[in-house]
Amino acid sequence: MQNKYTTLKAQLLAVIEAAEDAYDATDEDEAADASSEYALLLEDIVQLYEAADFDTQSIVQNAL
């Protein structure tokens, strides 16, 4: 389980850092492009979680 978490964390950080490098959301000209890119970023994050195939119920049970 820990290995799956470590892999997912690394993938998420890579995806987020790539998005941050691609667009500067504080730049007015890039803001519209950045918002659509961040929507794609969220889709990428969801796909990474789905691919990791965590047993969510077990995670919640262990946390409680």
Q: Tens of pLDDT along the chain (64 residues)?
A: 568 788 888 998 888 888 777 666 676 766 667 677 778 888 888 888 888 877 767 766 776 6
- The residue range of the domain holding 27 is 2-63
Both structure tokens of 27: 């730049």
Res 45: pLDDT: 85
Q: Domain total for the chain?
A: 1
Helices 28-52 and 2-22: crossing angle, nearest 10°?
Answer: 160
pTM (predicted TM-score) = 0.59
CA end-to-end distance (rounded Å), the chain = 17
Both structure tokens of 53: 């195939």
Asked if 37 and 23 count as a contact pair (C-beta separation under 8 A), the reply is: yes
Res 23: pLDDT: 67
